[in-house]
Amino acid sequence: MAYLLLLQYKTNVIGVIHTINAFLPLLRAGETKKCIVTSSEMGSLKYILKNDVSFAPGYSMSKAAVNVAVSKFAVKL
């Protein structure tokens, strides 16, 4: 379980953060200032509780974490 959690976190959170950071110079230089990250309702506490979702904990936690990371980028930039 811990290996899968780490793998999902690296892919869904760390990978997204590195990708955004790699493209920041292009975003800053361009006219359109948009960065789109695809997430999932599985990262939403409200959705999980409303639908009684107990499976895929690592995926859900990584999607919640990427939602927070993207929100932090949005506020900062």
Is the C-alpha dihedral spanning 20, 25, 26, 27 positive or negative? positive
Enter the pTM of the model.
Answer: 0.87
59: annotated active-site residue: yes
77 three-state secondary structure? coil
User: CA 32, 33, 36: angle at the middle one, nearest 5?
Assistant: 105
Structure tokens at 40: 């999932």
Q: Indicate if 63 belongs to the active site.
A: yes
Catalytic residue among 59, 60, 72, 76: 59
Task: For the chain, 77 residues long, give each residue's pLDDT as a single digit of tens.
Answer: 788 899 999 999 999 999 999 999 999 999 988 889 999 999 999 999 999 999 999 999 999 999 999 999 999 98
Q: Which of 9, 39, 40, 44 is catalytic?
A: 40
Active site residue 72: no
Of 63, 71, 72, 76, which residue is the catalytic one? 63
